[in-house]
Structure 1
């Protein structure tokens, strides 16, 4: 990396605000009240991100008169929901390739389930009139190294076997679409991903839920659960610092953030993902990169970037590093530590050298709730009165709706088509505790980097993880 490029990246970051762009918008909603005193409800949802909001939404669709309370330790969309790239993928299996490897007998049905889930999600946004910059533009996966070109061709063939229409683009075709000298080939998927402003989607959902009677409390962390001991008829009591709720059921949807079910730490690796947002591009800058369709873009490597345009003409650019902190700790001070944002800025300028001189207005990070198999973990606790759905590993914007239904199915105690899938029935392999966890994760990260630098060839350790459906990526 040249000193000139490093200096340019440093200058581009000089004035970037250390907060997520999505939740920093001028018309963000005002804070809601804290939970105080004792309340009752049919359902308490812990976590006001996408999984929690969809749980409340789907609960009302199942039982319109239900009494639902949503709690969040911070604010609506504070966590992963307000920090992601706004990619809403149909896949429930962390991609078709991964799904084929881990669930070969069920991947077709899971693909159909994911397609249906995405279509219904889009329909709900439209029917509710939620203004969240919904874009049905799809996604292009990009080969930046020669070995990745063959991987795109293999992915196209796999998609064809499952009825997924993917278009392979040559170097000339992909560079004519989006003008970057780094692209060697592309794989265009026009139907499997939509884009949203994630904060506006969450804010719109929360406002609609409140109009339908849902009580939503912010700055009200759930501190614990207890079974009904007073004969009130409640199945579980959810405690907060200033109050409590006696409810029939509860759902935990806290992602990587600490929650009232300590057992979930056995399955989750909080991996810090980093993101940048540019200033709005000028007409000349926009013309210099093309990108007329405005689709989402992502690299084909093991460690990858994801990027997309916004409604006001900016470019979001994130990914690559996935940083684990010893002990799985989640702390706000981690969000600006290390050199990940500077590395992203250099990668951005390498991708679009014609945008030299552009400035970044926001730089942020947040923990992804990763599991050993890259997909969510589901289950029940407290005698079946509490269900949980956590661990979406960066693909939760779309899968969260499916997960909300799974959690509600588990609480209902009746078999459904969703509960027959192994992705639901079998939890991911637990993560070894410290002091073993950190060295294992760091060694795996180094192996991933080495594989990307060695034509994608995976060492014995990575091949062993692959054999058991395990691994590590951002």
Structure 2
């Protein structure tokens, strides 16, 4: 099987004709109003909304590789406006009403991303659709019922979150052994590399300087040091998400959790007829190990999952290269859920990292004493949440009090991760237990949720 495992970083860049040409690096010492570290979604959206609010601001973005190199150009392409973090944990920094409002505003990011794409002429293969989380055992279906009940308890509109039975779920996509599904409406499928590259071009047109091939070596009050020079700025944004550990002083702030994706060859029309999937829904499942998938614009299937979840010492991949073992695991998931696809070849495989805080809850904020702002820890919901980060950070940097600035995720700082080897043991132990829980549920006919999954969550505070 000839699977491309690196070179283009992800299939999404290969789909665009290959990796982009580098922009010029930082030319030396400069002085700007705002310096943003990281040219992914978080940094670019922040620059976009800052320029929208104040066109006269001087803004520089410094990026080690190229705009979209990290998770922004490698993710599964779900623009969901979703909320999968612990609602109750946010009560420590806000109220129930604030958590509900946070979730409500996040849902609006899907429309906002689409609005900006239309305004800026960004063609990111965006398609409005639903997200389907499938249950293939009674235990998984019970978990979906509990999730939907929790949604209702937190005032999520029923048209946003509702359950469907086996026959209706199978009519959407013919998943093997389907018991039902949780339908989340109001989401969109995107081609993420096209989105992040288009956003970078839009930001550059507004006068934001993007310096690539520039490695940040330190962030301090009023200054960002790099291998190319020093940027002096009144406000600094750390927009490094899964690469935050590489900034000195942030080694244990967020850990880089690995996720991997495989993409099939184009699917013949006859096989689509057999699969259904005419609505281009994005989908996942209710197993503990979890997976995520989309039908691409050119009619391939992209299937993602955790693979090797964490590398010792918070190490990251080399340009998206992933292990053969991970490719086999993702292929097994694809064939388990859609056995009709066994004749398909896999064309691409890659991986990337996402940032995970110790409490597994996203955060954004500004330390006024240092002038350093941050956002991230999306735990897999970065395509939509990063847009909201950009709006929120622009408000905070410009000292505006808005409906966003008092939400319970603002200025929330969880405790740091443990030193090695304890964080490696914790994360790998969690996923080992998740996989074992899935196997035990399958062996017992999937009637009841395994207690091992609960134990896994307790170990890592998820």
TM-score normalised by L of structure 2: 0.89
SS of residue matched to 1:65:
coil
Please report how far the alpha carbon of residue 320 of structure 1 lies from its aligned counterpart in structure 2 after TM superposition. Answer: 4.0
Please report how far the alpha carbon of residue 259 of structure 1 lies from its aligned counterpart in structure 2 after TM superposition. Answer: 6.4
Question: Does the alignment pair 1:158 with 2:150?
Answer: yes
Q: Which residue of 1 aligns with 2:201?
A: 207
Q: How far, CA to CA, are the matches of 1:125 and 1:375 in structure 2?
A: 28
The 5-angstrom pairing of residues 35-54 of structure 1 reads: 35-54=26-45
SS of residue matched to 1:248:
strand
| 2:264 alignment partner, one of 274, 278, 281 | 278
SS of residue matched to 2:124:
coil
Q: How far, CA to CA, are the matches of 1:409 and 1:20 in structure 2?
A: 33
Q: Which residue of 2 aligns with 1:4?
A: none
Please report how far the alpha carbon of residue 322 of structure 1 lies from its aligned counterpart in structure 2 after TM superposition. Answer: 5.1
Q: How far, CA to CA, are the matches of 1:374 and 1:322 in structure 2?
A: 18
Q: How far, CA to CA, are the matches of 2:136 and 2:250 in structure 1?
A: 37
SS of residue matched to 1:451:
helix
SS of residue matched to 1:266:
coil
Q: Which residue of 2 aligns with 1:377?
A: 363
Q: How far, CA to CA, are the matches of 2:182 and 2:434 in structure 1?
A: 22
Please report how far the alpha carbon of residue 331 of structure 1 lies from its aligned counterpart in structure 2 after TM superposition. Answer: 3.8
Q: How far does the alpha carbon of each residue in 1:269-304 deviate from its partner, in whole angstroms, 9 at most, with x for none?
A: 211111001111111122121101011001112211
Q: How far does the alpha carbon of each residue in 1:43-72 deviate from its partner, in whole angstroms, 9 at most, with x for none?
A: 111101100110110111111221111111
Contact 1:94-1:374 within 8 A present in 2 as well: no
Contact 2:236-2:373 within 8 A present in 1 as well: yes
Question: Does the alignment pair 1:94 with 2:84?
Answer: yes
Q: Which residue of 2 aligns with 1:222?
A: 216
Q: Which residue of 1 aligns with 2:450?
A: 457
| 1:288 alignment partner, one of 259, 274, 295 | 274
Q: Which residue of 2 aligns with 1:175?
A: 170
Question: Does the alignment pair 1:141 with 2:133?
Answer: yes
Contact 1:47-1:70 within 8 A present in 2 as well: yes
Q: How far, CA to CA, are the matches of 1:380 and 1:261 in structure 2?
A: 17
Q: How far, CA to CA, are the matches of 1:296 and 1:332 in structure 2?
A: 28
| 1:300 alignment partner, one of 275, 286, 293 | 286
C-alpha distance 436-148 of structure 1, shift in aligned 2 (>3 A): same
Contact 1:386-1:411 within 8 A present in 2 as well: no
Q: Which moved more, 1:142-151 or 1:77-86?
A: 142-151
The 5-angstrom pairing of residues 407-426 of structure 1 reads: 407-413=393-399, 415-426=401-412
Q: How far does the alpha carbon of each residue in 1:254-281 deviate from its partner, in whole angstroms, 9 at most, with x for none?
A: 1111567433332212111110011111
Question: Does the alignment pair 1:82 with 2:76?
Answer: no
Contact 2:256-2:355 within 8 A present in 1 as well: yes
Q: How far does the alpha carbon of each residue in 1:1-21 deviate from its partner, in whole angstroms, 9 at most, with x for none?
A: xxxxxxxxxx4xx33343410
Contact 1:272-1:335 within 8 A present in 2 as well: no
Contact 1:36-1:244 within 8 A present in 2 as well: no
Q: How far, CA to CA, are the matches of 2:174 and 2:309 in structure 1?
A: 30
Q: Which residue of 1 aligns with 2:112?
A: 120
TM-score normalised by L of structure 1: 0.87
Q: Which moved more, 1:153-162 or 1:248-257?
A: 153-162
| 1:363 alignment partner, one of 338, 349, 370 | 349
Contact 2:244-2:253 within 8 A present in 1 as well: no
Please report how far the alpha carbon of residue 101 of structure 1 lies from its aligned counterpart in structure 2 after TM superposition. Answer: 6.2
C-alpha distance 126-440 of structure 1, shift in aligned 2 (>3 A): same
| 2:4 alignment partner, one of 16, 19, 28 | 16
C-alpha distance 271-259 of structure 1, shift in aligned 2 (>3 A): closer
| 2:179 alignment partner, one of 174, 180, 184 | 184
Please report how far the alpha carbon of residue 216 of structure 1 lies from its aligned counterpart in structure 2 after TM superposition. Answer: 1.0
Contact 1:376-1:393 within 8 A present in 2 as well: yes
Please report how far the alpha carbon of residue 30 of structure 1 lies from its aligned counterpart in structure 2 after TM superposition. Answer: 2.5
SS of residue matched to 2:359:
coil
Please report how far the alpha carbon of residue 442 of structure 1 lies from its aligned counterpart in structure 2 after TM superposition. Answer: 2.3
The runs of 5 or more residues in structure 2 that have no matched partner are 442-447
Contact 2:430-2:459 within 8 A present in 1 as well: no
C-alpha distance 144-263 of structure 1, shift in aligned 2 (>3 A): farther
Contact 1:321-1:340 within 8 A present in 2 as well: yes
| 1:386 alignment partner, one of 369, 372, 390 | 372
Contact 2:367-2:373 within 8 A present in 1 as well: yes
Q: Which moved more, 1:149-158 or 1:173-182?
A: 149-158
Q: Which moved more, 1:81-90 or 1:320-329?
A: 320-329
